[in-house]
């Protein structure tokens, strides 16, 4: 073999080794993150519930209205309540409602900032109790479903970094706050709750409850390439490529 | 009784008798061919089903590679089915009976090289050319002696482009003619054309220096020329040196071609010349202005020119000459590169589908097959990358939901049926062929680029003198690929251990690594052999090896033809 060819062969092999090294880092990076197969923006919801049957005598909100904490929502006049009160029952006031013993009315208030999602009672309605309205809170979080092998399941922790890709491809960051798993027909589905303050700052429609998102969660890299991967990431970050 | 009628059956030896009575187009072969075709179609439908489509990049790669393989497999099986009729007709047998008419002095029955040849009642003249280019003098002696002893009156000429005085001495010694030219332009085609300018005979044969003709060569081939449209009669190349991995791989790789494809092409009038073991009609070659010189694959180009002029070609699958398959990686690489470049040249410069080419539709299709045949050699290179895409990037050609069993069923329907067909028709299946074809795609890639750019391949190797150059000069891409596959296999195993499941990608990648690994080991063995100053193996192998189960194979390690 000529020396020129020997040199070429050696350089070529070194090139291949370098290529595989880069590909392996890419692979390791992927191994250390998991991608959701479904995900959606969610918000805390609460129901304004009536304990006593009666008549809605005042309605202060309409469907879709934003409400502030402490804002008055409904006033319900209830004979049953009046009777109970006159029998000596004492109903203490709470954040959610206040009782007027004289008129036999209950006034319902919003307990958190939010938006009226469902309105079940209107002025003049006679109600038997139950839900008057559902209010969605202003907080936003994401529930994402993953199909994970046991090994990866063990590597997701509360506090793990997550990237949320919204419908318009903008990415916001968040952290894992809760992990749960259910086993059904299609295997084990891991549901991860990701909280992100940034979600409230993006366009309302993109972060409306129910809006689809995809989530990538970083796993704890405990493999032999953890240090190398970090070094490569740092290098890329320093070069402004990442 | 004619004892010289290819009497291969030795009395009561069942081995030779079985070979003689074997029907290459037996009903079982037909059924197997139909089953294999069904398998091909089922596999195509499976791949094309949108429900199975995976990620687009590996899917497109697989589709491109498999399309080429599938289309060529279908065309090949069509050609095989077309070839079940012998080209020998009544006129042929009549002409053969009268070939030695009146040349039976004293009632002798065994023909000699002195018997005059007659065709259609007229005496005909024949020259036998042996093209040489630096081959071992013992190899040339073996061929030239056998050529001299072919039955029927003829002259024998050594056309020596190697300009060796030793060969000149040999010619004088054994009583054959010797021609040496001053230039070496046009390679083998130029060599033959130069000889044609000096030797004027009705017919001429060409043998590569290592192809030893049997005495009945002219007796079997010449009668075809009773049809005045026949330009040449080609016979297969059989190898007597299938004694190492490279030669077995290279030899058996051509087996289907010589036993089934070429006979099939007869019926498309598109059987082509493979550069040796062939007899030409002089007027036909004069008609196209001599052997085609603008390609290293002068044989297939000459055939194409003849077919465009309306000439007929004949191929007979009888072994009438035995030669050497390439034994080293260097020879194999050069051979494949030459053939593949010749094929791609047709594709780029002489598209047979072009309506301006005066060819029949049969011929257009067959030459298109020839021109694109070596794309099938590129396909393994594409397929080798698919497991790596899954391992590194999680990209899959088929959707994850497709079960292994479903995939295996369709895949087996295609590939296992092909292997079964090969096994049954050839009597054996050679792993060497699979190994070599997996490792050969860089050669075909090189051929494609060379043909496209019109460049001639230059090898950066030391001269031929003395020790043979290392095979690693020729297989650097394969070494890189092996390194890549081996490292990828390590990553794949690590990945599977992490995921706690064996993936198909890992299994494939390991298989591919193994195939390339064997190839590299073959190269290392060659290096080892080259280091030891052992005398070259005896030149008389081809004669000593009984051609019991002849392995038809590609042209020799000298300048041969195109398959």
Do A1 and B470 make contact, defined as CB atoms within 8 angstroms?
A: yes
Q: Cα–Cα distance between B514 and B508 in angstroms, integer? A: 10
Q: Which residues of A touch B480 (CB under 8 A)?
A: 12-13, 15-16
Q: How confident is the model at residue B533 (pLDDT cuts 50, 70, 90)?
A: low
Q: What's the confidence (pLDDT) of residue A135?
A: 85
Q: Which residues of A touch B472 (CB under 8 A)?
A: 1, 5, 9
Q: Cα–Cα distance between B361 and B382 in angstroms, integer? A: 31
Q: Which of A4, A9, A27 sits opposite B472 (nearest CB)?
A: A9
Pairing state between β B126-132 and B122-123 = unpaired
Q: Which of B469, B470, B480 sits opposite A16 (nearest CB)?
A: B480
Cβ neighbours of residue B140 under 8 Å, at least 6 residues apart?
B130, B132, B158, B167, B170, B209
Q: What's the confidence (pLDDT) of residue B541?
A: 39
Element (H, E) at B128: strand B126-132
A66-79 mean pLDDT: 88
% pLDDT > 70, chain B: 86
- pLDDT greater than 90 at residue A19: yes
% pLDDT > 90, chain B: 41
Q: What's the confidence (pLDDT) of residue B513?
A: 94
Closest chain A C-alpha to B163 CA, distance in angstroms: 27
Closest chain A C-alpha to B201 CA, distance in angstroms: 46
Average pLDDT, chain B: 83
Q: How far is CA B186 from the centre of its chain?
A: 22
Q: What's the confidence (pLDDT) of residue B551?
A: 36
Q: How confident is the model at residue B426 (pLDDT cuts 50, 70, 90)?
A: low
B19-42 mean pLDDT: 78
Q: Cα–Cα distance between B132 and B160 in angstroms, integer? A: 5
Least confident of A145-154, B177-186, B401-410: B401-410
Do A24 and B498 make contact, defined as CB atoms within 8 angstroms?
A: no
B296-355 per-position pLDDT tens digit: 888 999 999 999 999 999 999 889 999 988 988 998 999 899 899 989 999 999 999 989
Over B359-411, what HEC string results?
CCHHHHHHHHHHHHCCHHHHHHHHHHHHHHHHHHHCCCCECCCCCHHHHHHHH
Q: What's the confidence (pLDDT) of residue B195?
A: 93
Classify residue A66 as left (phi > 0), alpha (psi -120 to 50) or beta.
Answer: beta
Q: What's the confidence (pLDDT) of residue B3?
A: 40
User: Best interface-test mutation with A: which of B395, B442, B475, B484 has the largest number of A CBs within 10 A?
Assistant: B484
Q: Cα–Cα distance between A92 and A98 in angstroms, integer? A: 8
Q: Which residue of A has its CA nearest to B530?
A: A1
Q: What is the ipTM of this complex?
A: 0.74
Residues 452-491 of B with CB under 8 A from A: 460-462, 469-470, 472-473, 476, 479-480, 483-484, 487-488, 491
Closest chain A C-alpha to B44 CA, distance in angstroms: 30
B493-517 mean pLDDT: 87
Q: What's the confidence (pLDDT) of residue B534?
A: 52
Do A27 and B476 make contact, defined as CB atoms within 8 angstroms?
A: no
- pLDDT greater than 60 at residue B24: yes
Q: How confident is the model at residue B107 (pLDDT cuts 50, 70, 90)?
A: low
Element (H, E) at A26: helix A3-31
Closest chain A C-alpha to B120 CA, distance in angstroms: 58
Q: What's the confidence (pLDDT) of residue B425?
A: 64
Q: Which residues of B touch A26 (CB under 8 A)?
A: 392-393
Q: How confident is the model at residue B5 (pLDDT cuts 50, 70, 90)?
A: very low
Q: What's the confidence (pLDDT) of residue A29?
A: 80
Q: How confident is the model at residue B459 (pLDDT cuts 50, 70, 90)?
A: low
Element (H, E) at A190: strand A187-195
- Outline where B208-354 has alpha helix (H): 217-221, 245-253, 255-256, 262-266, 282-287, 298-308, 329-349
Residues paired with B207 in a beta bridge: B130
B27-37 per-position pLDDT tens digit: 887 788 888 88
Higher local confidence (pLDDT), B255 or B534:
B255
A115-132 per-position pLDDT tens digit: 888 888 888 888 887 888
B37-57 mean pLDDT: 84
SS3 assignment, position B205: strand
Do A27 and B472 make contact, defined as CB atoms within 8 angstroms?
A: no
Please state, in angstroms and as integers, the Cα–Cα distance from residue B267 to each residue in B202, B236, B258, B312, B315, following that order. 26, 17, 15, 10, 10
Q: How far is CA B8 from the centre of its chain?
A: 24
Q: What's the confidence (pLDDT) of residue B106?
A: 62
- pLDDT greater than 80 at residue B467: no
B221-271 per-position pLDDT tens digit: 999 999 999 999 999 998 888 888 888 888 888 888 888 889 999 999 999
Residue B528 at interface with chain A, using a CB cutoff of 8 Å: no
Q: Which of A1, A17, A30 sits opposite B394 (nearest CB)?
A: A30
- pLDDT greater than 60 at residue B464: no
Q: What's the confidence (pLDDT) of residue B104?
A: 66
Q: What's the confidence (pLDDT) of residue B10?
A: 54
Q: Which residues of A touch B462 (CB under 8 A)?
A: 2
A74-79 mean pLDDT: 88
B540-557 per-position pLDDT tens digit: 333 333 333 333 333 322
Q: What's the confidence (pLDDT) of residue A183?
A: 86
A69-95 mean pLDDT: 85
């Amino acid at each position: 073999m000529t020396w020129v060819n020997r040199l070429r062969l050696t350089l070529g092999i070194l090139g291949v080794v370098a290529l595989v090294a880069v590909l392996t880092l890419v692979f390791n990076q992927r191994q250390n993150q998991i991608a959701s197969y479904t995900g959606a923006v969610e918000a805390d919801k609460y129901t304004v519930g009536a304990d006593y049957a009666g008549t809605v005598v005042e309605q202060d909100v309409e469907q879709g209205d934003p409400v502030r904490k402490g804002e008055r929502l409904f006033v319900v006049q209830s004979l049953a309540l009046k009777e109970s009160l006159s029998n000596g029952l004492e109903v203490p006031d709470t954040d959610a409602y206040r009782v007027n013993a004289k008129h036999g009315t209950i006034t319902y208030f919003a307990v958190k900032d939010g938006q009226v999602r469902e309105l079940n009672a209107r002025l003049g309605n006679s109600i038997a109790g139950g839900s008057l309205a559902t209010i969605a809170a202003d907080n936003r979080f994401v529930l994402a479903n993953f199909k994970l092998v046991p090994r990866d399941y063990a590597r997701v922790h509360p506090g793990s970094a997550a990237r949320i890709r919204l419908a318009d491809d903008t990415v916001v960051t968040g952290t894992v706050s809760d992990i749960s798993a259910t086993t059904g027909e299609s295997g084990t589905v891991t549901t991860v709750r990701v909280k992100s303050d940034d979600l409230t700052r993006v366009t309302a429609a993109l972060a409306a409850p129910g809006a689809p998102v995809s989530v990538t969660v970083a796993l704890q890299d405990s493999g032999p390439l953890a240090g190398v991967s970090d070094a490569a990431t740092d290098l890329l970050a320093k070069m402004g490529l990442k | 009784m004619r004892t010289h009628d290819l009497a291969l059956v030795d009395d009561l030896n069942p081995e030779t008798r079985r070979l003689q009575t074997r029907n290459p187009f037996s009903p079982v072969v037909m059924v197997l061919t139909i089953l294999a075709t069904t398998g091909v179609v089922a596999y195509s439908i499976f791949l094309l089903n949108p429900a199975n489509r995976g990620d687009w990049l590996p899917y497109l790669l697989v589709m491109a590679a498999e399309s080429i393989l599938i289309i060529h497999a279908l065309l090949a099986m069509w050609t095989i089915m077309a070839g079940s009729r012998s080209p020998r007709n009544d006129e042929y047998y009549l002409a053969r009976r009268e070939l030695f008419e009146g040349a039976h002095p004293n009632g002798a029955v065994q023909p000699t090289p002195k018997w005059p040849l007659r065709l259609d009642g007229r005496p005909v003249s024949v020259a036998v050319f042996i093209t040489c280019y630096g081959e071992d003098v013992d190899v040339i002696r073996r061929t030239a002696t056998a050529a001299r002893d072919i039955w029927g009156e003829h002259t024998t000429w050594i056309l020596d482009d190697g300009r060796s005085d030793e060969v000149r001495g040999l010619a004088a010694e054994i009583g054959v003619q010797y021609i040496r030219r001053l230039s070496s332009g046009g390679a083998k085609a130029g060599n033959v054309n130069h000889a044609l300018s000096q030797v004027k005979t009705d017919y001429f044969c060409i043998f590569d220096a290592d192809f030893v003709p049997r005495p009945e060569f002219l007796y079997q081939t010449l009668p075809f020329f009773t049809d005045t449209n026949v330009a040449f009669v080609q016979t297969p190349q059989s190898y007597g040196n299938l004694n190492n991995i490279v030669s077995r791989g290279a030899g058996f790789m051509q087996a289907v071609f010589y036993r089934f494809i070429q006979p099939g092409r007869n019926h498309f009038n598109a059987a082509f010349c493979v550069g040796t073991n062939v007899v030409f009609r002089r007027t036909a070659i004069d008609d196209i202005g001599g052997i085609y010189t603008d390609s290293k694959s002068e044989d297939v180009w000459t055939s194409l020119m003849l077919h465009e002029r309306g000439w007929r070609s004949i191929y007979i699958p009888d072994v009438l000459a035995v030669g050497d398959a390439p034994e080293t990686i260097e020879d194999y690489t050069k051979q494949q590169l030459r053939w593949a470049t010749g094929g791609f040249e047709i594709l780029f410069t002489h598209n047979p589908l072009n309506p301006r080419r005066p060819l029949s539709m049969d011929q257009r299709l067959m030459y298109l097959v020839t021109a694109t045949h070596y794309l099938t050699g590129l396909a393994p290179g594409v397929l080798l990358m698919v497991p790596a895409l899954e391992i590194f990037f999680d990209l899959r050609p088929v959707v994850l939901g497709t079960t292994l069993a479903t995939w295996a069923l369709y895949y087996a329907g295609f590939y296992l049926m092909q292997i079964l067909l090969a096994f049954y028709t050839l009597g054996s299946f050679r792993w060497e062929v699979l190994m070599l074809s997996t490792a050969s795609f860089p050669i075909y890639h090189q051929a494609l680029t060379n043909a496209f750019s019109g460049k001639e391949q230059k090898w950066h190797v030391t001269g031929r003198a003395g020790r043979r150059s290392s095979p690693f000069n020729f297989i650097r891409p394969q070494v890189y690929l092996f390194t890549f596959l081996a490292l990828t296999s390590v990553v794949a195993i690590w990945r599977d251990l992490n995921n706690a499941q064996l993936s198909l990608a890992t299994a494939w990648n390991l298989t591919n690594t193994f195939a390339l690994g064997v190839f590299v080991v073959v190269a290392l063995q060659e290096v080892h052999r080259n280091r030891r100053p052992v005398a070259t193996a005896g030149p008389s192998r081809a004669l000593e090896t009984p051609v019991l189960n002849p392995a038809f194979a590609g042209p020799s390690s000298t300048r041969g033809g195109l398959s």
